[in-house]
Amino acid sequence: MEAAPLRATPRPTPSVTGTLRAIEAVLLRSGQRTARRNAWTSVLEDRRRAKDRYDAEYVLEAAATRRPHAT
């Protein structure tokens, strides 16, 4: 059994766009990681603010419906 002959095929020349995309991918990896971390931090901060608003609303509602203390 004979092996098929290897043919040398020319490697396609990288386009300028492809080269720029490859460079961009390498440079932005850490940037994407930072962006995701910042986005998650924002989500947690929004949740904290929402809880604070809820708690404040609860206290204000309780104070508004409380009867004045008769002496």
C-alpha 47, offset from chain centre: 15
pLDDT at 26: 83
**pLDDT above 70 (res 19):** yes
C-alpha 34, offset from chain centre: 8
Phi, then psi, of 59 in degrees rounded to 5 = -65, -45
**Tokens coding 26:** 């390498």
**24-68 tens-digit pLDDT:** 888 778 788 888 889 999 999 999 999 999 999 999 999 999 877
C-alpha 25, offset from chain centre: 17
